[in-house]
Structure 1
Amino acid sequence: MKVLVADDSGIMRKIIIRSLNAVGVTEIVEAADGQEAIDAYKNEPVDLILTDWNMPNKSGLDVVTEIRALGSTVPIIMVTTEAQKSQVIAAIQAGVNDYLTKPFEADDLRAKLDKFVTV
Protein backbone atom coordinates (compact mmCIF):
# COMPACT_ATOMS: atom_id res chain seq x y z
CA MET A 1 0.00 0.00 0.00
CA LYS A 2 1.22 3.48 -0.92
CA VAL A 3 0.10 6.58 1.03
CA LEU A 4 0.39 10.24 0.09
CA VAL A 5 0.99 12.51 3.10
CA ALA A 6 0.35 16.20 2.37
CA ASP A 7 1.13 18.71 5.12
CA ASP A 8 3.13 21.92 5.06
CA SER A 9 4.63 21.06 8.46
CA GLY A 10 7.63 18.77 8.13
CA ILE A 11 7.26 17.80 11.79
CA MET A 12 3.62 16.79 11.27
CA ARG A 13 4.57 14.75 8.18
CA LYS A 14 7.19 12.92 10.29
CA ILE A 15 4.61 12.18 13.01
CA ILE A 16 2.12 10.84 10.46
CA ILE A 17 4.79 8.79 8.69
CA ARG A 18 5.90 7.28 12.01
CA SER A 19 2.30 6.26 12.68
CA LEU A 20 1.99 4.80 9.17
CA ASN A 21 5.21 2.84 9.67
CA ALA A 22 3.82 1.50 12.97
CA VAL A 23 0.89 -0.08 11.11
CA GLY A 24 3.16 -1.52 8.43
CA VAL A 25 2.91 1.15 5.73
CA THR A 26 6.34 1.88 4.32
CA GLU A 27 5.58 3.21 0.82
CA ILE A 28 4.97 6.90 1.43
CA VAL A 29 4.93 9.90 -0.87
CA GLU A 30 5.35 13.31 0.82
CA ALA A 31 3.99 16.67 -0.31
CA ALA A 32 4.73 19.99 1.41
CA ASP A 33 1.73 21.84 -0.04
CA GLY A 34 -1.51 21.30 -1.88
CA GLN A 35 -0.12 21.74 -5.38
CA GLU A 36 2.69 19.26 -4.65
CA ALA A 37 0.04 16.81 -3.42
CA ILE A 38 -1.98 17.07 -6.62
CA ASP A 39 1.14 16.77 -8.79
CA ALA A 40 2.38 13.80 -6.76
CA TYR A 41 -0.99 12.07 -7.08
CA LYS A 42 -1.06 12.56 -10.84
CA ASN A 43 2.50 11.20 -11.19
CA GLU A 44 2.29 8.37 -8.69
CA PRO A 45 -1.17 6.98 -7.90
CA VAL A 46 -1.58 6.02 -4.25
CA ASP A 47 -3.96 3.88 -2.20
CA LEU A 48 -4.73 6.48 0.48
CA ILE A 49 -4.27 10.23 0.97
CA LEU A 50 -3.77 12.01 4.29
CA THR A 51 -4.00 15.76 3.74
CA ASP A 52 -3.85 18.83 5.94
CA TRP A 53 -6.53 21.49 5.36
CA ASN A 54 -4.41 24.65 5.69
CA MET A 55 -1.49 24.56 3.25
CA PRO A 56 0.13 27.05 0.89
CA ASN A 57 -0.62 27.13 -2.85
CA LYS A 58 -3.70 24.92 -2.59
CA SER A 59 -5.67 23.93 0.49
CA GLY A 60 -6.51 20.39 1.48
CA LEU A 61 -10.05 21.09 0.31
CA ASP A 62 -8.64 22.05 -3.12
CA VAL A 63 -6.65 18.80 -3.12
CA VAL A 64 -9.78 16.76 -2.40
CA THR A 65 -11.84 18.63 -5.01
CA GLU A 66 -9.22 18.29 -7.75
CA ILE A 67 -8.52 14.61 -7.08
CA ARG A 68 -12.25 13.82 -7.04
CA ALA A 69 -12.62 15.79 -10.31
CA LEU A 70 -10.19 13.30 -11.86
CA GLY A 71 -12.73 10.58 -11.10
CA SER A 72 -10.63 9.12 -8.30
CA THR A 73 -12.23 7.17 -5.47
CA VAL A 74 -9.00 6.86 -3.45
CA PRO A 75 -9.76 7.17 0.28
CA ILE A 76 -8.88 10.63 1.62
CA ILE A 77 -8.52 11.49 5.31
CA MET A 78 -8.43 15.20 6.20
CA VAL A 79 -5.98 15.80 9.06
CA THR A 80 -6.49 19.30 10.41
CA THR A 81 -7.02 21.75 13.24
CA GLU A 82 -10.23 22.86 11.50
CA ALA A 83 -12.99 21.19 13.48
CA GLN A 84 -15.93 23.53 12.96
CA LYS A 85 -19.02 21.66 11.87
CA SER A 86 -19.38 23.74 8.68
CA GLN A 87 -15.83 22.85 7.64
CA VAL A 88 -16.31 19.17 8.38
CA ILE A 89 -19.46 19.22 6.24
CA ALA A 90 -17.64 21.06 3.42
CA ALA A 91 -14.86 18.46 3.47
CA ILE A 92 -17.32 15.57 3.39
CA GLN A 93 -19.26 17.18 0.54
CA ALA A 94 -15.98 17.58 -1.37
CA GLY A 95 -15.34 13.85 -1.04
CA VAL A 96 -13.32 13.29 2.13
CA ASN A 97 -13.79 9.78 3.54
CA ASP A 98 -12.76 10.57 7.10
CA TYR A 99 -11.55 13.35 9.36
CA LEU A 100 -8.86 13.52 12.03
CA THR A 101 -8.47 16.62 14.21
CA LYS A 102 -5.03 17.83 15.34
CA PRO A 103 -3.58 17.38 17.83
CA PHE A 104 -4.16 13.66 17.82
CA GLU A 105 -2.65 10.63 19.47
CA ALA A 106 -0.96 7.94 17.39
CA ASP A 107 -3.77 5.57 18.39
CA ASP A 108 -6.35 7.98 16.90
CA LEU A 109 -4.55 7.93 13.55
CA ARG A 110 -4.17 4.14 13.69
CA ALA A 111 -7.91 3.76 14.29
CA LYS A 112 -8.64 5.84 11.16
CA LEU A 113 -6.01 3.99 9.12
CA ASP A 114 -7.40 0.61 10.12
CA LYS A 115 -10.54 1.41 8.12
CA PHE A 116 -8.55 1.82 4.92
CA VAL A 117 -5.12 0.19 5.29
CA THR A 118 -4.53 -3.34 4.18
CA VAL A 119 -0.86 -4.19 4.40
Structure 2
Amino acid sequence: MAHSVLIVDDAAFMRMMIKDILSKNGFEVVGEAADGQQAVDQFEELKPDLVTMDITMPEKDGIQALKEIKAMDPNSTVIMCSAMGQQAMVIDAIQAGAKDFIVKPFQADRVLEAINKALD
Protein backbone atom coordinates (compact mmCIF):
# COMPACT_ATOMS: atom_id res chain seq x y z
CA MET A 1 0.00 0.00 0.00
CA ALA A 2 1.25 3.49 -0.83
CA HIS A 3 2.46 5.63 2.06
CA SER A 4 0.29 8.69 2.72
CA VAL A 5 1.99 12.08 2.87
CA LEU A 6 0.96 15.53 4.09
CA ILE A 7 2.95 18.33 2.41
CA VAL A 8 3.37 21.57 4.37
CA ASP A 9 4.89 24.67 2.80
CA ASP A 10 3.68 28.27 2.52
CA ALA A 11 4.85 28.35 -1.12
CA ALA A 12 2.41 26.59 -3.46
CA PHE A 13 5.26 26.10 -5.96
CA MET A 14 7.30 24.12 -3.39
CA ARG A 15 4.28 21.99 -2.47
CA MET A 16 3.78 21.26 -6.15
CA MET A 17 7.43 20.25 -6.59
CA ILE A 18 7.37 17.79 -3.68
CA LYS A 19 3.96 16.47 -4.69
CA ASP A 20 5.26 15.82 -8.19
CA ILE A 21 8.32 13.92 -6.92
CA LEU A 22 6.27 11.83 -4.50
CA SER A 23 3.37 11.07 -6.84
CA LYS A 24 5.75 9.81 -9.53
CA ASN A 25 7.35 7.48 -6.98
CA GLY A 26 4.30 5.74 -5.60
CA PHE A 27 3.42 7.92 -2.63
CA GLU A 28 -0.11 9.16 -2.02
CA VAL A 29 -0.31 12.87 -1.19
CA VAL A 30 -3.38 13.04 1.08
CA GLY A 31 -3.17 16.71 2.03
CA GLU A 32 -1.42 20.04 1.64
CA ALA A 33 -1.10 22.84 4.16
CA ALA A 34 0.19 26.39 3.78
CA ASP A 35 1.03 27.10 7.44
CA GLY A 36 1.77 25.36 10.70
CA GLN A 37 -1.77 25.58 12.08
CA GLN A 38 -3.24 23.97 8.95
CA ALA A 39 -0.52 21.31 9.24
CA VAL A 40 -1.53 20.40 12.81
CA ASP A 41 -5.26 20.37 11.92
CA GLN A 42 -4.73 18.23 8.82
CA PHE A 43 -2.37 15.86 10.61
CA GLU A 44 -5.03 15.24 13.25
CA GLU A 45 -7.68 14.64 10.59
CA LEU A 46 -5.68 12.66 8.00
CA LYS A 47 -3.14 10.73 10.16
CA PRO A 48 -0.60 10.54 7.30
CA ASP A 49 2.40 8.16 7.40
CA LEU A 50 4.72 11.10 6.74
CA VAL A 51 4.76 14.90 6.88
CA THR A 52 7.15 17.13 4.91
CA MET A 53 7.30 20.39 6.88
CA ASP A 54 8.69 23.74 5.80
CA ILE A 55 10.47 25.51 8.67
CA THR A 56 9.65 29.17 7.99
CA MET A 57 5.93 29.85 7.55
CA PRO A 58 3.39 32.48 8.62
CA GLU A 59 0.96 31.94 11.53
CA LYS A 60 2.87 29.07 13.11
CA ASP A 61 6.34 27.98 12.03
CA GLY A 62 7.31 24.42 11.18
CA ILE A 63 9.12 23.76 14.45
CA GLN A 64 6.08 24.74 16.55
CA ALA A 65 3.83 22.60 14.32
CA LEU A 66 6.30 19.71 14.59
CA LYS A 67 6.18 19.90 18.40
CA GLU A 68 2.37 19.86 18.38
CA ILE A 69 2.26 16.91 15.97
CA LYS A 70 4.79 15.02 18.10
CA ALA A 71 2.67 15.74 21.19
CA MET A 72 -0.37 14.26 19.38
CA ASP A 73 1.50 11.27 17.97
CA PRO A 74 5.00 10.56 19.35
CA ASN A 75 5.52 8.01 16.52
CA SER A 76 4.74 10.46 13.72
CA THR A 77 7.31 10.78 10.94
CA VAL A 78 8.16 14.38 10.02
CA ILE A 79 10.86 15.55 7.61
CA MET A 80 11.74 19.24 7.68
CA CYS A 81 12.36 21.29 4.54
CA SER A 82 14.71 24.23 4.81
CA ALA A 83 16.53 26.74 2.71
CA MET A 84 20.30 26.91 2.97
CA GLY A 85 21.48 28.88 5.98
CA GLN A 86 18.85 27.56 8.39
CA GLN A 87 21.21 25.13 10.15
CA ALA A 88 20.34 26.30 13.68
CA MET A 89 16.64 25.79 12.96
CA VAL A 90 17.32 22.37 11.47
CA ILE A 91 19.10 21.36 14.69
CA ASP A 92 16.12 22.61 16.73
CA ALA A 93 13.81 20.57 14.50
CA ILE A 94 15.84 17.37 14.87
CA GLN A 95 15.88 17.86 18.66
CA ALA A 96 12.10 18.35 18.57
CA GLY A 97 11.69 14.99 16.82
CA ALA A 98 12.09 15.51 13.07
CA LYS A 99 13.47 12.41 11.36
CA ASP A 100 15.51 14.20 8.69
CA PHE A 101 15.61 17.36 6.62
CA ILE A 102 15.69 18.22 2.94
CA VAL A 103 17.33 21.37 1.59
CA LYS A 104 15.65 23.57 -1.01
CA PRO A 105 15.75 23.61 -3.96
CA PHE A 106 14.58 20.00 -3.88
CA GLN A 107 16.48 17.25 -5.66
CA ALA A 108 14.27 14.24 -6.32
CA ASP A 109 16.85 11.65 -5.30
CA ARG A 110 17.60 13.40 -2.00
CA VAL A 111 13.89 13.82 -1.21
CA LEU A 112 13.22 10.12 -1.85
CA GLU A 113 16.31 9.02 0.07
CA ALA A 114 15.26 11.04 3.15
CA ILE A 115 11.66 9.82 2.97
CA ASN A 116 12.50 6.16 2.46
CA LYS A 117 15.06 6.29 5.29
CA ALA A 118 12.55 7.97 7.62
CA LEU A 119 9.82 5.41 6.85
CA ASP A 120 12.07 2.37 7.40
List, as ranges, runs of 4+ consecutive aligned residues in structure 1 with deviation greater than 4 Å: none
Identity %: 37
Mean CA deviation greater in 64-73 or 11-20: 64-73
Q: 1:60 aligns with which of 59, 62, 75?
A: 62
Per the alignment, residue 7 of structure 1 pairs with 9
Deviation (angstroms), 1:98: 0.3
Unaligned stretches of 5+ residues in structure 1: none
Per the alignment, residue 81 of structure 1 pairs with 83
1:37 aligns with 2:36: no
Of structures 1 and 2, the one with the larger relative CO (CA 8 A, separation 6+) is 1
SS at match of 1:56: coil
SS at match of 1:14: helix
SS at match of 2:31: strand
Which whole-Å CA distance do the structure 1 matches of 2:71 and 2:116 have between them? 26
Provide TM-score, normalisation by structure 2: 0.89
Which whole-Å CA distance do the structure 1 matches of 2:20 and 2:45 have between them? 24
Letter in 2 for 1:65: K
SS at match of 1:90: helix
Q: 2:110 aligns with which of 82, 89, 108?
A: 108
Q: For this pair of structures, how many residues does the alignment match?
A: 118
Which whole-Å CA distance do the structure 1 matches of 2:76 and 2:44 have between them? 12
Deviation (angstroms), 1:82: 5.1
Unaligned stretches of 5+ residues in structure 2: none
SS at match of 2:51: strand
